[in-house]
Amino acid sequence: MNTAQYKTWDEFMEGVWRQNPVFVMVLGMCPTLAVTVSAINAISMGVATLFVLVCSCGLVSLMRKLTPKEVRIAVYIVIIATFVTAVDYAIQAISLALYDALGAFIQLIVVNCIILGRAEAHAAKNPPIPAMVNAAGMGVGFTIGLLALGVVREILGAGTLFGVSLFGAGFQPWVIMVLPPGGFFVLGAWLLLFAWWARRRAGLPAKEATQHV
Amino acid sequence: MSDQSSTGKKVIPIVTAAPEIAVPVSPTGAMIRTLGLVSAICGLIIVGAYQGTYDAVAANKRIATERAVFKVLPKAKSIEEFVAQAGGGIARVGAGDTAIPPGGVKFFAAYDEAGKLAGIAAEGVGKGYADNVRIMFGYQPDCQCVVGIGVVAMRETPGIGDKIITDKDFLANFTALDVKLKADLSALANEVKAVKHGTKTGAWQIDAIAGATITSRAVGKAINDSAQALLPRLVPKLDTLAKKS
Ligand SMILES: Cc1cc2nc3c(=O)[nH]c(=O)nc-3n(C[C@H](O)[C@H](O)[C@H](O)COP(=O)(O)O)c2cc1C
């Protein structure tokens, strides 16, 4: 890879991995906990957020030289709210069942701190292409995070994956997993796994992995 | 920096005048221009998205309603939407005409292939464990009974309240649930009600699911309230609906 390609890839992977919004930055927890009762909900929410992220960051970046800093938050929020509205209509057009399952959390993408955070910290300072690549990475990272929760919660809490029954009729689902407490359990387990893994890769003893500062 | 003094002496905060750094101030015109521009762009996108998806969304909603009606009235092949008005009249609701007059009760007349009335479907709402439980029920004029229910929307606990969709014994309540009117057609002869599991005695009672009595009661209340409001207006006018218009 030449340096330009490498930079783009790096920009993308930042959100997917090193700065993963769910597992590393622990941002956007409201949808992360609330909609991940099934894999399909998780993917839909992730893709909706990804779309809003990429479009908003693209437009914020295009407007960056025209945006006085005094009005920037208003500008970002209007832009984000616009794309959320578009996604809202699009999901209604695709499937009402999905729309009902995601409920108010589609509209709440407006206040997802990942998006405003990206607009402020990255898109406002970079040209459109890198801004959108970076946003796409964050969106993919967020989707992966949601999916990691959704898959585990659906398998344990309903005995299905993408709606397909895995264990047959004899399986007694672990209902707590699709209730709110289950979201916290599964998220906690993933965070633990990630922290342990990150420490191990950094060559630190596992014992210190619990000492978050 | 800390303003805590380890010696215990009172620390007097020193207020200094803000240094006169030349911060470039954005001109008012630039702010207005940007906000105006953003509003214009965003306005176009929103209106575009709304209009671009309007037909698909309307079609989805119609399909969802049809599916819900066909589920409770399996013989139905097409539906028409009506409103039972407060004065006792029945009015057709045109496609896309969603405004229901005050006091009106919305219902669907379902017709079979031959265009004959296959039953009436209506929605009802009852307060469940977590939130309102919205159901659709099918009504058969011949037996004056409810012949099927489906859930339109609910947020009941998975594994507890949501058994109302799947529990065979519970659904057996709705093969012929009695919703007869009094002789003067003013109200239901018997209040439809969910009773504790195993204590059902009348054909108008619903045998609740053990452990999910609250959700079962919500279903009973939804049917009762809706039937109470609709049937006294509907039954005297049933012959006007007998054939598809
Ligand atoms: C976490 C939790 C969730 C519950 N969810 C429901 C529910 O969705 N629907 C319901 O009817 N009862 C639910 N219940 C049980 C009700 O509180 C109540 O005990 C039950 O409906 C009574 O039924 P029974 O008289 O047949 O035992 C829930 C209880 C708990 C602790």
How many angstroms from the chain centroid is the CA of residue A51? 11
Q: Residues of A38-63 as b/e, b for ≥16 C-beta within 10 angstroms?
A: bbbbbbbbbbbbbbbbbbbbbbbbbb
Q: Is B47 on the interface with A (CB under 8 A)?
A: no
Q: Does ligand 1 come within 6 angstroms of the Cβ of B210? A: yes
Q: Does ligand 1 come within 6 angstroms of the Cβ of B157? A: yes
The bridge status of strand B193-195 relative to strand B205-207 is parallel
How many CB atoms are closer than 10 A to CB A167? 11
Task: Using the atom order of ligand 1, give the atom closest to the CA of residue B209.
Answer: 26
Cβ within 8 Å, pair A92-B53 = yes
Residues 6+ apart with CB under 8 A from A86: A55, B45, B46, B48, B49
Q: What is the pLDDT of residue A184?
A: 95
Q: Find tokens 């176009």 and name the residue.
A: B44
Q: Does ligand 1 come within 6 angstroms of the Cβ of B212? A: yes
Chain A residue with CA closest to B64: the answer is A96
Task: Using the atom order of ligand 1, give the atom closest to the CA of residue B157.
Answer: 8
Instruction: Provide, as residue numbers in chain A, all residues whose Cβ is less than 8 Å from the Cβ of B158.
Output: 37, 157-158, 175, 178-179
Q: Which two tokens stand for residue B116?
A: 């004959």
Q: Does ligand 1 come within 6 angstroms of the Cβ of B207? A: no
How many CB atoms are closer than 10 A to CB B65? 18
Q: What are phi and psi of B184, to 5 degrees?
A: -85, 10
Where are the strands (E) in chain B, listed by range?
78-84, 90-92, 105-111, 117-127, 132-140, 145-153, 177-178, 193-195, 205-207
- Reported as a single tens digit per residue, the pLDDT across B103-128 is 788 899 999 988 899 999 999 999 99
Among candidates A58, A122, A113, A111, which has minimal Cα distance to A84?
A: A111
Tell whether the model's pLDDT for residue B140 goes beyond 90.
Answer: yes
Q: Which two tokens stand for residue B225?
A: 């309230």
Task: Using the atom order of ligand 1, give the atom closest to the CA of residue B162.
Answer: 8
Kindly report the nearest CA distance between residue B153 and chain A, in angstroms.
Answer: 8
Among candidates B148, B199, B141, which has minimal Cα distance to B177?
A: B148
- The amino acid sitting at A90 is A
- Reported as a single tens digit per residue, the pLDDT across B214-237 is 999 999 999 999 999 999 999 988
Chain A residue with CA closest to B161: the answer is A175
- Residue numbers in chain A where pLDDT is lower than 50: 209, 213
Cβ within 8 Å, pair B34-A67 = yes
- Reported as a single tens digit per residue, the pLDDT across B6-33 is 455 555 555 555 556 666 677 888 899 9
Kindly report the nearest CA distance between residue B70 and chain A, in angstroms.
Answer: 17
Task: Using the atom order of ligand 1, give the atom closest to the CA of residue B130.
Answer: 8
- Reported as a single tens digit per residue, the pLDDT across A71-105 is 999 999 999 999 999 999 999 999 988 898 887 88
Using CB atoms and an 8 Å cut-off, which of residues 62-81 of chain A contact chain B?
Answer: 63, 66-71, 74-75, 78-79, 81
Q: Does ligand 1 come within 6 angstroms of the Cβ of B213? A: yes
User: Hey, where are the domains in chain A?
Assistant: 11-19+37-147
